[in-house]
Amino acid sequence: MNGQNLIDGEWRSGIDAFETVNPSDLGEVVGRYSKATESDVARACAAARDALPAWSACNMQARADLLRKVGDVLVERRVAVGTLLSREEGKTLAEGVGEAVYAARCFHFQAGEVIRAQGQWYDSGRDGFNIVVTREPVGVIAAITPWNFPIAIPAWKVAAALAHGNTVVLKPSNFVPGCAVLLGEILQQAGLPRGVFNLVLGDGEPTGGAIIDAADGVTFTGGTETGRLVLRRAAETMTKVQMELGGKNALVVLDDADLDLAVDIAGNGAWRQTGQRCTGTERLIVTRGIHDAFVERLMNSAKRLQVGHALDPDTEIGPVANRPQLEKNLAFVERARAEGAELATGGECLKRRTKGLFMAPTLFVGTRSEMWCNQTEAFGPICSVIKVDDLDEAIHVANDCPYRLSAGIATAGLSSAERFRRYSRAGMVIVNAPTAGLEYHVPLGARAPSGFGPRENGLASSEFFSETKTAYINHGE
């Protein structure tokens, strides 16, 4: 993959060439890219601004057809996209292909949203008046994305932005620009007019900052600390912001849970996709009666998981996506041990036939809620167990953490599940299923500091990607 910047419909090379390497095999270069220059970034933002009037006025059927076509091409090319994703980010091929299909569904869903009626009509308290409420595009959208979902996150932001008549400048993560480049090619292939979608490669600063300054709306997914910087920057120009940020998601396991199911969903949430999901499970809050059996079974299942090359069909857990993240994971393990967390399994790098960033699924036991390891996001294949007495304590502990993204419960009791749903402070609650694994047609998001502003996806996406206009019409009748 040789990737460039897409500016006003033209692919342009920039400065500061860089390569991406396969985290399953560090000797393999996956892509060669170059960062957009300062003037390229300015041109991309200007192109998005120039393209806005025509795109926001584009016939709704034409816009819907185009988005549907992008989804269709993503489905057709799912294996190519998924393979590139596996080579650049390290997800298993099945996960990579699944993510490509998910991205396609976001475009298909938003194609439908173009056609869905958006306006409201009210009678007025004044004779001879009507009131009409309509939604209009926000304008130029700056989309800034992380490395862990290199096609799905750009896709759900871009699809929603375009569906609502906005134009886009996307800055993906430097670790995984390949899928964003492919998305640019597919959008062009589908016939998107020039300037409506622009892609700039570069660092958070200056490139991310520059597109925030030029935009009317910023949609950001990434770490909470970066989110704070983005929010401060956008505040300068009072630019509308939507952010999806970090998590420290809890799964509560009650005594009445189905043990097989609980072990399965805990392992899935904690270690699949190498733990690199914002909604992954990092805290297991387990009641006393089931604790020992649950921990033993979970530990054994962790040891059986096949960690290896992402493209090997037997692999269940791919490598850590990049070296800085692996170093963070290992430092996390050290600090957790130093504060007294007991390492039940994992914690170390694994050797495989290729030289890659392989890490064993890691489980800590005997931890307490207030420990650093239970208050800090790891974002790797690492989770810890906290023993509690009952549901009320479990709910208290689940909420006893600054993050508010997703939270799950394994229980056979309907009233326990309902109590948890009601009192959890997370943005998303999941019953008898992994804390991760979200669908595209319902809102995704959380309270601060795990999110900020309107939710993404589903019908909720119109809250961020459009502006409301209220018109009072004195028609005299």
Return the number of the residue (24 or 145) whose C-beta is nearest ligand NDP: 145
Structure token pair of residue 228: 């704070």
- Residues 135-174, mask of contacts with ligand NDP (x by CB under 6 A): ---------xxxxxx---------------------x-xx
Q: Which H or E run contains 163?
A: helix 152-163
Residue 473 tokens read as 């019409």
Q: Is the dihedral of CA 82, 439, 465, 427 positive or negative?
A: negative
223 binds ligand NDP (CB under 6 A): yes
Q: Considering just the CA atoms, what is the radius of gyration of the chain in Å? A: 23
Which residue of 16, 38, 76, 205 would you call a contact of ligand NDP, by CB under 6 A? 205
Region binding ligand NDP by CB under 6 A among candidate stretches 93-101, 192-200, 221-229, 346-354: 221-229
Annotate each residue in 34-73 with x if it binds ligand NDP (CB under 6 A) or - if it does not, as one string: ----------------------------------------
For position 222 contacting ligand NDP by CB under 6 A, the verdict is yes
52 vs 201, which CB is nearer to ligand NDP? 201
In the set 190, 230, 298, 426, which binds ligand NDP (CB under 6 A)? 230
Among 82, 247, 308, 347, binds ligand NDP (CB under 6 A): 247
- Of 57-65, 223-231, 386-394, 410-418, which segment contacts ligand NDP by CB under 6 A? 223-231
- In terms of Cβ atoms closer than 10 Å to its own Cβ (0-12, 13-18, 19+), residue 17 is exposed
Peptide bond into 449 cis (omega under 30): yes
204 is an interface residue for ligand NDP by CB under 6 A: yes
Q: Which residue, judged by CB position, is nearest to ligand NDP in the bound state?
A: 204
Read off φ and ψ for residue 471, nearest 5 degrees.
Answer: -115, 130
Sign of the CA dihedral with 66 first, then 69, 73, and 75 last: positive
**Length, in residues, of the chain:** 477
Of 184, 209, 318, 381, which lies in the binding site for ligand NDP, with binding defined by CB under 6 A? 209
By CB under 6 A, the residues from 375 to 414 that bind ligand NDP are 377, 379, 405
CB of 446 to ligand NDP, least distance (A): 7
Residue 16 touches ligand NDP, criterion: CB under 6 A: no
CA-CA distance, 39 to 206, in Å (whole number)? 12
Residues 89, 35: Cα–Cα separation, whole Å: 19
Give the Cα separation of 56 and 59 in Å (integer). 9
CA 300 to CA 143: how far, in whole Å?
Answer: 41
Distance, CA of 143 to chain centre: 12
**Residue 229 in contact with ligand NDP, rule: CB under 6 A:** yes
**Mind telling me the catalytic residues?**
244, 278
- Whole-number Å distance between alpha carbons of 466 and 427: 22
Which of 193, 167, 197 shows the shortest CA–CA distance to 183? 197
Tokens of 310: 């992402």
What lies within 8 Å, CB to CB, of 127 at 6+ separation is none
Residue 226 interacts with ligand NDP (CB under 6 A): yes or no: yes
Please pick, from the candidates 195, 246, 347, 380, the single residue that binds ligand NDP as defined by CB under 6 A. 246
Among 150, 154, 178, 208, binds ligand NDP (CB under 6 A): 208
Nearer to ligand NDP, 218 or 394 (CB): 218
Which distant-in-sequence residues (6+ apart) come within 8 Å of 183 by Cβ? 103, 151, 154, 155, 158, 199
**Residue 271 beta carbon to ligand NDP: minimum distance, rounded to whole angstroms:** 16
Nearer to ligand NDP, 180 or 285 (CB): 180
One-letter amino acid at 104 equals A
Pairwise CA distance, residues 258 & 248, whole Å:
24
The 351-380 contact track toward ligand NDP, x by CB under 6 A, reads --------------------------x-x-
Least distance from ligand NDP to the Cβ atom of residue 86, Å:
17
- Site residues, ligand NDP (CB under 6 A): 144-149, 171, 173-174, 203-205, 208-209, 221-223, 226, 229-230, 244-247, 278, 377, 379, 405
